[in-house]
A and B are shown apart, each in its own frame.
Chain A
Amino acid sequence: MAKLNINGKVLDVKAEPDTPLLWALREQVGLTGTKYGCGVAACGACSVHINGELTRSCTMPIGSLKATDRIVTIEGLSKGATHAVQRAWAEVDVPQCGYCQSGQIMAAAALIAKTAKPTDADIDAAMTNICRCGTYQRIRKAIHRAAELNAAPKGGKA
C-alpha cells in the first residue's frame, strides 16, 4: 500500500513498493494513457511529471515516492486537452498511431515549462522519446507552435 498524489488527488494504491509507477498507474489506478513501451526507460512512452520533472515511470518504484510528490499523468495535464502543447499537437496534426504521443506530449510540456521558447537544439536535447511512426518533424513544429501559443496575448498560459 502506498499513498500517491496523482493528478491532484491523494490515492491509496494497493501494490508492493517495488512496483513501477507505470504499472501502478495502469493496473491499480486505471490511468492507461501512460504507456508501456520498453520497461527499461529507453523509449519514453511512460513519461510523467513528478514535481514538474519529466520522469520515465517504468523504472520508478512507487516505494520511492512520497504522498507529497506531485505526479501528473497525461490525463491530468489539462482539462479538455487545452494545454498549449496539446492544442499545438492538434493544430499540426502530429499523431499517427498515437501510442507514444502521451509520452511525447508530457516531454514537450516539461520542456516548454522550463524553456518558454525552445530552439531546435533545445528540442533535440529534450525530446529523446521514440516514435516508431516517425512523427518527429511534426513534433518539432508543434513544440515551436506551442511556444507561440503560450506567448500569444490571448492564448493563455498553459
Chain B
Amino acid sequence: MNVTRREFLVSSAAAGGGLALGLHVPFAMAADTKAAAAATEVNLWVAIRPDDTCVIRIARAEMGQGTLTGLAQLVVEELECDWAKVTTEGITPGRNLASKRAWGEMGTGGSRGIRTSHEYVRQGGAAARIMLLQAAADEWKVPVSELTVSKGVITHAASKRTTSYGKVAAKAAKITPPDVKTIKLRDPKEWKVAGQGLKRLDTRDKLDGSKVYSIDVRLPGMLNAAIQQCPVFGGKLVSYDEAAIAKRPGVKGVVKVDASTVAVVADTWWHAKTALDALPIVWDEGPNAKVSSASIAAHLKTGIDAEKAFAGTKKGDALQAISTSPKKVEAIYGTPFLAHATMEPMNCTARVTKEGAEVWVPTQNAEASLAALAESAGLPLEKCEVHRTDLGCGFGRRGGNQDYTKQATVIAKQFPGIPVKLIWSREEDTMHDFYRPISQCKLTAGLDAAGNLSGLHVRVSGQSINAWVNPNFDPEGKDRRQLQGMWEEPGDAQIGYTVPNLQIEYSMRNTHVPVGPWRGVNTNQNGVYLECFMDEVAKAAGKDPLEFRRALMANHPKHLAVLNAAAERAGWGKPLPAGVHRGIAQFMGYGSYSAAVAEVSVSAAGELKVHRMVLALDCGHAVNPEQIAAQVEGSVAYGLSATLFGENTVENGRIKETNFHEYRILKLAEMPKVETVIVPTYDFWGGVGEPTICVVAPSVLNAIYAATGKPVRQLPLKNQKLV
C-alpha cells in the first residue's frame, strides 16, 4: 500500500478523529524501523532489552496530559511485564510514514490520545506477550498452555523452570505474530496495571532542568531567529531597512518569511530578538486596520438579530411554544477571543539542504508538521523527518496549523545545512494565535403554569473554526461544530436535557482574527450559555437549580449520574459557611460527561473568592485515576483563568494584549480546592484532557448568581461589577 503525498497531507491535516486512511497494521514488523538501543523489537509497540527493560512505543504527543503514561499502562496491562522496568520511546512521523502508518494516527487533540488508540495498543501488548510465551515454550519444548507469566518472568511450574522476557525476546521477534482476531483482551474490570493511579513515567527530568524541550535544542553551528508578523491580521510587509541592523552583534541576515512576516537571524536568539526590535519595518496594515472589539460585537449582534439562522437542532416548535407560554425568560450572553498561552512559546528548529530537511518541534500533530516541512522545503515527504519533543503545553495551539514549522523551514532554507532555531517572543505568541472563537448567544425559554420548560430557543452567533481552516467551508455557515455540547445525538457532545420544543441555531459571523481549537473548544462557550441560562430559568420557575435540571434529565442517565455525583460530594443543599454560595453545571464533550459544583463568596465590594470546586467526570474507562484527577485540577485552572481574566480584545485590527501582564493567567493563590469524583461506567471510552473545562465557568457564574441574585452574562469577570 502506498500513501501518496496528497493522501498524507489530507489525512494528517484533518481535524476530525479516527484513522483516516485505515492503514494501520498493528502487528506487522516495520521493515525499516530502528529498534531502541540494544533492544529487540518484538512488534511495533514493544521492544525488550536483555536486562528485561520493556520499551513501549508511543505515537501520540505528550504535552502534560499524561497520555504517555496511560498508553504505556494499556500496553503493559496485556504485555504482563514489570512496570518498574518500563521505559518509553516516541516514534517519528517519518518512521510511521515509511511503515505505511503502522502506528496509526499520531495527532493528539480532541482528547483522542487514548480513546481512539486503546484497542490497538492493548492488542500490541497482548501480541507481544503471546510471542514471548511461545518463544519460551519452543525453547523448553512444552505446550505454551503450561506456562504462566508475571511481571515479565515466565514460569513452567511442572519443571520448575523460569526465564524472562529479556532472555526470550530475540526468539520471540522471529515468531509469526498472532492473528488479531484471536487475541482476547483483558476485561477492564480485571485490570492490574491499567486502571491504577500510577505515577507518571516522565517526571524525573522535569525536576532538575535536564528535560530537553524543543526550545532547548542545541545543535552544532546553530543560528537563531526572531520573528515578527504584521500586527494586523491580513496586513502585509512593505519593506524593512536591513542596513540599519546589519552591523549589530551576531546578526547574519534578515529573511522575508512570507507576505506578512519578517525574521532576523543571528548567532543567538537574544541578538536576533534585539536586532528585530531595532529593525525599521513598514507594514501595509490592509483592510482590517480599523476593526475593533466594538465593531466585532456589532457584527455578531447581526447574527443574533437575523431573521434566520442554521438550525442545528429543531424539535417541535420552540418559537410557538415560547410565545404561548405564560412565562418567558430571555438573555444574551457573550464570550471573548482567547489565546492559548502555552508556557513554551511557539518554536521550531529546522535544518534544510537540497537533499533533505528535518525539524525539532513541539507538535500535537507530528504528521502535520512533516507535511508542513515537506511543503515549505519543497522536498518529498520521504526526504523529511520530524524529531518530536514533549511539549511545554499544547491546548490545541500546536495541532494542524503548524505556522511556526513552516516559518522555521522557510528561514532555514536561506542557510542551507545550518540548523536555525526560531523562537517566538511571548508578545508574538499572544498577538498571533489561533484564538478561541468569539461568540454571543441569545437564549429564550418558555415556562408553563407549573414552571416546566415548554420550549427553548438558543441562537449562537460567532466565528467558525471550520470556516477559518477552510475558507470554502459552507458559505451558509451550517457549522454544527459551533454548537458542540448542544447536539441531540448521543455519544460525543450531547445536550443532557429533554425539552419538548427545542431549537438550537448558529449564525456564522466571521472576523479577520484567526481562530482555532482551544482546549475544550466550543463546549466552553456553549457550556456557559446553556448552563447559566438554565439557572436563570430555574429561578424564574421558582425551583432549585439542581432539581430543575434533574426533572429534564430522566432520558439522559449518564449526564444525570454525573450531576448527582458532583452534587452529592459537594453536599448540595447542606448548610454552608456564612457568605458562601453554591453553583452547579453539567455538560458533555469529547465523549465524556462532566458536572461541577462551585463554592464562592462575593464581598460587599464585589470581590470574588472561589473556595472549593467539586468536579465529577464519567469518561467510561478510567485508565489512570490519579492522572485524570490531575487533568481535572488543570482544567479548573485553565477554565478559571478564562472565567476571571481571559480576554483578547481587538483594537486597530490587532490584538491589544501582548504579554502576561495584560493577558492574566490564574495564579496559585487564586486556585480553589479541587475535588475530583470519577464515575467510571466501563462501557465506553471518553476523553479526559478537555471535557471538564466547560463546567468550570458556568458553575462559578451560577454560584455568583446565587450569591448576588444578579446573573453575569459576559466574560471575563474582571470587566464585570458583581454587586
Query: Is the pair A42, B669 in contact by a Cβ cutoff of 8 Å?
Result: no
Inter-subunit contact B637/A131 (CB<8 Å): yes
Proximity bits, B651-677, A CB within 8 Å = 1, else 0? 000000001110001111101011000
Interface centre among A34, A35, A38, A81 (most CB of B within 10 A): A38
Determine how close the nearest CB of chain B comes to the CB of A133; give it in whole angstroms. Answer: 5
CB neighbors of B among A113-133 (8 A): 123-125, 127-133
Partner of A137, one of B210, B216, B341, B671: B671
0/1 interface trace, chain B 353-396, chain A, CB 8 Å (1 if under): 00000000000000000000000000000000000001111110
In the complex, A33 has a CB within 8 A of chain B: yes
Given contacts A27-B270, A36-B345, A132-B665, contact A97 B630 (CB under 8 A): no
- Set of chain A residues within 8 Å of B66, measured between Cβ atoms: 96
Asked if B213 CB lies within 8 Å of chain A CBs, one says: yes
Interface size on B, residues (CB 8 A): 59
Interchain CA distance A84-B630 in the complex, whole Å: 22
Asked if residues B423 and A36 are in contact (CB atoms below 8 Å), the reply is yes
Q: Which residues 533-592 of B have a CB within 8 angstroms of A?
A: none
The answer to the question of B626 belonging to the interface, with a C-beta cut-off of 8 Å to chain A, is yes
- Of B199, B203, B210, B636, the residue contacting A33 (CB under 8 A) is B210
Q: Is B479 an interface residue (CB 8 A)?
A: no
Main secondary structure of the interface of B (DSSP, over half): loop
Q: Are B207 and A32 in contact (CB under 8 A)?
A: no
Q: Is A39 an interface residue (CB 8 A)?
A: yes
Whether B674 contacts A137 by the Cβ 8 Å rule is yes
List residues 199-227 of chain B with CB under 8 A from any CB of chain A: 199-200, 202-213, 215-216, 218, 224
Given contacts A93-B630, A136-B671, contact A75 B209 (CB under 8 A): yes
B188 to chain A, nearest CB (A): 23
Q: Which of B211-260 contact A (CB under 8 A)?
A: 211-213, 215-216, 218, 224, 249
Say whether chain A's binding surface is mostly helix, strand, loop, or mixed: loop
Contacts of A90 in B (CB 8 A): 203-204, 207
Q: How far apart are the CA atoms of A70 and B675 in the complex, in Å?
A: 42
- The answer to the question of A150 belonging to the interface, with a C-beta cut-off of 8 Å to chain B, is no
Of B208, B392, B425, B637, the contact of A77 (CB 8 Å cutoff): B208
- Which B residues are CB-close (under 8 A) to A74? 208-209
Chain A residues near B205 (CB-CB < 8 A): 98
A43 adjacent to chain B (CB < 8 Å): yes
CB of B343 within 8 A of CB of A23, answer no
12 contacts between A and B (CB under 8 A): A23-B268, A23-B269, A35-B344, A42-B661, A43-B660, A97-B344, A98-B211, A100-B392, A136-B637, A136-B671, A137-B671, A138-B633
| A interface residues with partner B (beta carbon < 8 Å) | 15-16, 19-20, 23, 26-28, 30-40, 42-43, 45, 73-75, 77-78, 80-81, 86, 89-90, 93-102, 105, 123-125, 127-140
A-B residue pairs, 4 tightest by C-beta: A33-B209, A134-B637, A99-B392, A97-B64
